[in-house]
Amino acid sequence: MRRFILTLGMVAVLAVFGVAAPSVKVLIIDQTQNLMESMQVGILARILRTSTEFEVQIVGTTQVPEGPLPQGPFRLAIIVPAQAKWVWVCTSAFPEDLSPQLQMVLGILDKAVEQVFRGERRALDPADDLYALGWSAYFLKIGVLGEVSGR
């Protein structure tokens, strides 16, 4: 009986660790035009992939999509314009209405943008900038961003 309980406990522990981490799909639109900035965008993607307890799937492109992408819908779309002082972070809702998981990813993204671009760029989301809000609405309309499914 004791062996059965011990075996059952081990199976339960393995089941907990075997569960896949929640996934956050991120689209990065890299419009930079020089090698240094393109490398910084790559580093930003790597930081996002490795610095959360969630699986971050990143798809990169250089053009703004005109319709849904086969890998989508995405939870976040990040636009890195050429020679600018910001990075637009597009979301399906205002940050305070997003899930705690996405709010955590946004916090990591803010810090990562600051570090990777050595303070030369800031991450702006729909609550910070009308341009990010406009892009977010566009991406929602064409199916690039997924709807908010609740907190």
- Where are any strands of DSSP class E within 32-147? 55-61, 76-80, 86-91, 122-124
Residue 27 maps to which CATH number?
Answer: 3.40.1710
Instruction: Please give the tally of structural domains in the chain.
Output: 1
Which pLDDT tens digit goes with each residue over 86-96? 999 999 999 99
**Position 132 in a domain:** yes
Cis peptide leading into residue 73 (ω within 30°): yes
What is the domain range of residue 138? Answer: 21-142
Range with lowest mean pLDDT among 16-20, 88-92, 113-117, 128-132: 16-20
Characterise 102 by phi-psi region: left (phi > 0), alpha (psi -120 to 50), beta (else): alpha
Q: What mean pLDDT, rounded, does the chain reach? A: 81
**Position 16 in a domain:** no
Question: What confidence category does residue 53 fall into, taking pLDDT thresholds of 50, 70 and 90?
Answer: low
| Alpha carbon distance 137, 77 (integer Å) | 11
**Position 37 in a domain:** yes
- Give mean pLDDT, residues 98-113: 89
| Alpha carbon distance 32, 73 (integer Å) | 24
Predicted confidence at residue 54, as pLDDT, reads 57
